[in-house]
Amino acid sequence: MHDAALAAKPAAQSAAAPLLAVRDLNAWYGESHALHGVTFDVKPGEVVTLLGRNGAGKTTTLKAIMGILGKRTGSVTFEGKETIKLPARTIARAGIAYCPEERGIFSSLSVEENLMLPPQVKAGGMTVERIFELFPNLKERLNSQGTKLSGGEQQMLAIGRILRTGAKTLLLDEPTEGLAPVIIQQIGKTIARLKQEGFTIVLVEQNFRFAATVADRHFVVEQGKVVDQILNDELDANIEKLHAYLGV
Amino acid sequence: MFELLGIPPQALFGQLLLGLINGSFYAMLSLGLAIIFGLLNIINFTHGAQYMLGAFVAWMLLNYLGIGYWWALLLVPIIVGATGIIIERLLISRLYHLDHLYGLLLTFGLALILQGLLRNEYGISGLPYGIPAELAGGTNLGFMFLPNYRGWVVIASLAVCLGTWFVIEKTRLGAYLRAATENPTLVGAFGINVPLMITLTYGFGVALAGFAGVLAAPIYSVNPNMGADLIIVVFAVVVIGGMGSILGSVITGFGLGLVEGLTRVFYPEGSAVVIFVIMAIVLMIKPAGLFGRTV
């Protein structure tokens, strides 16, 4: 019966096979069990968000997909291939790029070195000129020390450098956190443009108003699990429910 | 001839040259230590023994295989570096998740084993290693007589230090290294093989020590304690320059060699301790070292 239910599911959403499928993902920080069976999937070209309160496990989910946590079990398939046993560098080489919450700009590297650091993993990455077109500020600061940039510029650098790699699936952890509204807008526009160009994006957000402007679907994360899924088109109808989840 | 503060210039320049030679070895060894510490977070106590191993391997190549100095200069860093890679893969790599202290104890133990084995086999009286014929003799610079081999040691050491600095600060490979020193997890998540980088970095740092050992073989006698005597001073140099600073360790290495030489001229009794006195003062005023980054 269980098998039948599973088999019926793909038929229902057969429009596209998932690009990234996360099944019963468990993960640990040292001894502490942080994810308790996260399950969701992302179709090619989709932008999805993980919403939830602080400490719900959104960031941990991205880290676990990327393979940078000590221990994880369950299943994460990317383009149909199982990655749960692979090290982070192999997952990156398969075409998933990660932009951490703390942005991860290297202080001992110049802006240019930061931008050029991630190796190309697939053909067809963005040229540096196109990245400057998206983020003109970076061009003027190429020789500065990476961490001398403003918070917004650092975020642009953190996103810009992974666009160079040719990876078409991006994991973005709170790219708008702590930034001025005008910069949040610029990042929103960038995400919309990347979606147009066929990028697939998993976005962790606290700010669901921002999330609503860019995403197709929202997954609600609570206590290390995905507990609900809300289509962006149905967001207004579900706003009360979402408020309850997020405790706002 | 003129005199400077009552010191004959021959003596002054002679001691400065000696200081520069010592400084060359301080610089090469502290550079290797700084690179290894930066990426591996391991204080490589085996460094002195690996320098000594470099001198011994050069001696063995000559006496057992008839391979001379110039080939030794190329082969010894490769051989000693390879032993470093084996040590890192087999032993050090198991300690990364533990406290620094374990790495220090492991490498200290390895140094004792290496020294003990060679002492058992070759004794402590020292083995002679001749200066290569091309560099025998000396040059009269007018103000002093410069033995050619010593001039070569200073030049070779400067070239190796500057070359290493250039690779680390100005190339893409160096950018990987600096980035991995800051945040290895994220560098790995970009698709870079960080464990391999760590292994090769340790191998390179150890190869530098081996190279210094070959340069030292014709100057100091080849004996199992030559590294242990030197490494204590080199640790002081690294502390003064700042752990993990590349240019800092090079400049401090040469600078302290000269300071030591000058002390030997003006106050010979203090020459053995001057570096440690400077270390104590630097630690009090700027604990991160003269070139250390305070995060």
Nearest CA in chain B to A90: B191
Q: Measured between alpha carbons, how far is A149 from A155 in angstroms, rounded to an integer?
A: 9
What are the sequence ranges of the domains in chain B? 26-221
- pLDDT tens, B30-58? 999 989 988 888 889 999 999 999 999 99
Residue A105 CB partners (closer than 8 Å, separation 6+): A114, A146, A147, A149, A154, A157, A158
SS3 letters across chain B = CCCECCECHHHHHHHHHHHHHHHHHHHHHHHHHHHHHHHHCCCCCCHHHHHHHHHHHHHHHHHHHCCCHHHHHHHHHHHHHHHHHHHHHHCHHHHCCCCHHHHHHHHHHHHHHHHHHHHHHHCCCCECCCCCHHHCCEEECCCCEEEHHHHHHHHHHHHHHHHHHHHHHHCHHHHHHHHHHHCHHHHHHCCCCHHHHHHHHHHHHHHHHHHHHHHHCCCCCECCCHHHHHHHHHHHHHHHHCCCCHHHHHHHHHHHHHHHHHHHHHCHHHCCCHHHHHHHHHHHHCCCCCCCCCC
- Say whether pLDDT at A40 is over 90: yes
pLDDT at residue number B295: 44
CA distances from residue B125 to B116, B195, B216, B220, B226 in whole angstroms, order as listed:
14, 41, 16, 12, 11
Q: A89 and B179: CB-CB below 8 Å?
A: no
Q: pLDDT band at residue A8, thresholds of 50, 70 and 90?
A: very low
Q: Which of A57-61, A134-138, A141-145 has the highest mean pLDDT?
A: A57-61
- Chains A and B form CB pairs within 8 A to the count of 60
pLDDT at residue number A209: 84
Q: A92 and B185: CB-CB below 8 Å?
A: no
* Mean pLDDT estimate for chain A: 88
Q: B189 and A113: CB-CB below 8 Å?
A: no
* Shortest Cα–Cα distance, B193 to chain A (Å): 6
Instruction: Please tell me what DSSP assigns to residue A106.
Output: -
Q: Measured between alpha carbons, how far is B116 from B100 in angstroms, rounded to an integer?
A: 25
Residue A111 CB partners (closer than 8 Å, separation 6+): A138, A141, A142, A143, A144, A145, A146, A149, A157
Q: Measured between alpha carbons, how far is A148 from A145 in angstroms, rounded to an integer?
A: 5
The residues with which B282 forms a beta bridge, in sequence order, are: none
Nearest CA in chain A to B192: A89
- Say whether pLDDT at A9 is over 90: no
Q: Judge whether B240 and B30 are in contact, CB under 8 Å.
A: no
Q: Which of B175, B188, B189 sits opposite A113 (nearest CB)?
A: B175
pLDDT at residue number B293: 64
**Quick one: average pLDDT of A95-104?**
94
Q: Judge whether B21 and B253 are in contact, CB under 8 Å.
A: no
pLDDT at residue number B205: 95
Q: Identify the three-state secondary structure at position A227.
A: strand
Q: Measured between alpha carbons, how far is B207 from A192 in angstroms, rounded to an integer?
A: 51
- pLDDT tens, B52-76? 999 999 999 999 999 999 999 999 9
Rounded to 10°, the helix B9-40/B172-182 angle is 70
Q: pLDDT band at residue A237, thresholds of 50, 70 and 90?
A: confident
> Which residues in chain B come in under a pLDDT of 50?
1, 295
pLDDT at residue number A10: 42
Q: A117 and B190: CB-CB below 8 Å?
A: yes
CA distances from residue B110 to A148, B88, B154, B238, B268 in whole angstroms, order as listed:
42, 12, 29, 21, 35
On whether ipTM exceeds 0.90, the answer is no
Q: Identify the three-state secondary structure at position A127.
A: coil
Q: How many Cβ atoms from other residues are within 10 Å of residue B52's Cβ?
A: 32
Q: Judge whether A19 and A42 are in contact, CB under 8 Å.
A: yes
What are the sequence ranges of the domains in chain A? 44-68+87-246
pLDDT at residue number B14: 86
* Shortest Cα–Cα distance, A239 to chain B (Å): 36
- Say whether pLDDT at A70 is over 90: no
Sign of CA dihedral A228, A232, A233, A235: positive
pLDDT at residue number B244: 67
Minimum mean pLDDT among A103-107, A215-219, B121-125: which range? Answer: B121-125
- State phi, psi for A110 to the nearest 5 degrees: -70, 170
Which residue do the tokens 């995403």 mark? Answer: A215
Q: B172 and A118: CB-CB below 8 Å?
A: no
Residue of B50, B47, B214 lying closest to B129 (CA atoms) = B214
- And the tokens for A200? 């697939």
How many CA within 13 A on the CB side of residue A43? 11
Percent of chain A with pLDDT over 70: 93
Sign of CA dihedral B185, B191, B194, B195: positive
Which residue do the tokens 């600061």 mark? Answer: A141
Q: Which CATH superfamily does the domain covering A44-68+87-246 fall into?
A: P-loop containing nucleotide triphosphate hydrolases (3.40.50.300)
Measured CB to CB, residues of chain B less than 8 Å from chain A are 172, 175-176, 178-179, 181-183, 185-194, 293
Which residue do the tokens 């106050």 mark? Answer: B267
- Say whether pLDDT at A223 is over 80: yes
- And the tokens for A70? 């000590």
Q: Measured between alpha carbons, how far is B184 from A64 in angstroms, rounded to an integer?
A: 16
pLDDT at residue number A14: 45
Q: What is the pTM of this model?
A: 0.86
Q: Judge whether A28 and A44 are in contact, CB under 8 Å.
A: no
- pLDDT tens, A161-179? 999 999 999 999 999 988 9
pLDDT at residue number B5: 64
pLDDT at residue number B61: 95
- And the tokens for A241? 């429910």
Percent of chain A with pLDDT over 90: 61
Q: Measured between alpha carbons, how far is B67 from B65 in angstroms, rounded to an integer?
A: 5
Q: Measured between alpha carbons, how far is B94 from B98 in angstroms, rounded to an integer?
A: 9
